[in-house]
Amino acid sequence: MVLDARDMIQPAAAASEKNIQEVLAQGAAGVSLRSVTKKYGSFTAVENLLLDIPAGSYCCLLGPSGCGKTTTLRMIAGHESITSGDIYIGDRRVNALPPAKRNTAMMFQNYALFPHKTVWQNVEFGLRMRRVPTAERRVRVGEILELVGLSQTSDRKPDQLSGGQQQRIALARALVTRPQVLMLDEPLSALDENLRVRMRSELRNIQKQFGLTFIQVTHHVEEAFSLSDQIVVMDHGHIDQVATPSDLFAKPASKFVAKFIGDNNIFAGTVLNAVPDSDGLDMIELAVAGLGSIFSRGQATSVGQTAACSVRPDLLTIVSTAADAPSPQANHLTARVVDVELTGYVTRVGLLTEATGQELLYKVRTADWADAGISEGQAVTLRWSAHDCVFLAD
């Protein structure tokens, strides 16, 4: 599907904030999951989910295929029953309510438009199913088409429009029902990278302008970071971490999260020592086989426990000669450059530790890498601060 930049989701310039609030009279609602479990026979798709999504926020359910994120979205929408637990939308327990009674709407990955119906008829369809009177349907469909900039194409069929316009039809059809929560199932997955970046910006702008609660499923890490107020990282039917994008980036809570959000260097070992610091965190000494002691910051449970730590590749410093012994606030090791990948502004440098052969990644501005004069095959020393190293309890 080919999209043009002119097809971006853009509310009509004439639409005022008052118009939008009148069209979306229900307002936003928060969503709460309380010990929600879904089983298919003996298979547990999601287990004991505890989650609060604030009203008016943009939340992304992030994780690999099969982690349970789409099942979670469908349970909130009412398209899947729950095995146990409770789901609240606002202050209403909605376990037994059908989708049409939950004040939610779903925007599907493939848009699910009716090819034989016009734009107007596609947008009107949900109101017809709710038996909204004809006069009210006419007003509401006209308002929402104006808001998303489709008034001039209301009598066309979907296949007469571009992909971006089709996406706006799907959005208008979801919004015209005046939902309190809009759910999006991988809405950008079919787009090329450049258009994905543009479209996610427009989605975020619309969420802010309308003030609705958006819940989106994605496996695309950068997409989740750019869109979300709140990211929920899932794995094997469980929630591993709930955090703001900035906290998730800086402080992954587990080895899985550190790996999934991308490129973190992870060292596994055993807690050798933990010294409390004035800010309530511990300075933790981790004994890593073949590499000696690596220092990180966090909260250790006990000396002798199996654990790990991670450091982002952009927080490493690389020097071409052996460095002095590190202080308790620093780490270093010797590694050999084995791969250099230019990706534009940033160069990715692959390394292998001399002692253990562990793969590591270093990221640096391309201009700085060129100035460093380091070549593939060269042994270097990597340094990083304990304050930049995140402790990960096993």
Tens of pLDDT, residue by residue over 92-127, are 999 999 998 899 998 887 778 899 999 999 999 989
Are 24 and 168 part of one and the same domain? yes
- Helices 134-147 and 119-129, packing angle to 10 deg: 130
Q: What is the pLDDT of residues 194-244, one digit of tens each?
A: 777 777 887 888 888 888 999 999 999 999 999 999 999 999 999 999 999
How many whole angstroms separate alpha carbon 51 and alpha carbon 379?
A: 47
216 within domain boundaries: yes
Are 320 and 218 part of one and the same domain? no
Query: Of 16-30, 54-68, 322-336, 363-377, which range is least confident?
Result: 16-30
378 within domain boundaries: yes
Q: What is the pLDDT of residues 165-192, one digit of tens each?
A: 887 888 888 888 889 999 999 887 766 6
Are 309 and 230 part of one and the same domain? no
- 33-62 mean pLDDT: 97
Are 173 and 211 part of one and the same domain? yes
Are 228 and 286 part of one and the same domain? no
Residues 6+ apart with CB under 8 A from 32: 51, 52, 53, 86, 87, 88
Are 32 and 122 part of one and the same domain? yes
What pLDDT is recorded for position 235?
96
pLDDT beyond 80 at 372: yes
| Cα dist from 280 to 69, 328, 370, whole Å | 34, 17, 41
Residue bearing the bigger pLDDT, 227 or 323: 227
Answer with the one of 222, 250, 278 that is the final residue of a domain: 250
Are 23 and 90 part of one and the same domain? yes
Residue 270 lies in domain: 263-393
What is the average pLDDT value for the chain, to the nearest integer? 87
Are 70 and 47 part of one and the same domain? yes
How many whole angstroms separate alpha carbon 31 and alpha carbon 375?
A: 53
Q: Is the whole model's pTM more than 0.75, yes or no? A: yes
Are 181 and 295 part of one and the same domain? no
Are 52 and 125 part of one and the same domain? yes
Q: Which two tokens stand for residue 230?
A: 């709140």
Answer with the one of 250, 279, 299 that is the final residue of a domain: 250
What pLDDT is recorded for position 18?
54
Q: What is the pLDDT of residues 116-156, one digit of tens each?
A: 999 999 999 989 888 899 999 999 999 888 887 888 889 99
- 267-276 mean pLDDT: 93
79 within domain boundaries: yes
Are 178 and 199 part of one and the same domain? yes
Residues 6+ apart with CB under 8 A from 368: none
Are 26 and 149 part of one and the same domain? yes
Number of domains into which the chain is organized: 2
pLDDT beyond 70 at 1: no
Q: Which two tokens stand for residue 372?
A: 């460093």
CA atoms within 13 A on the CB side of 371: 6
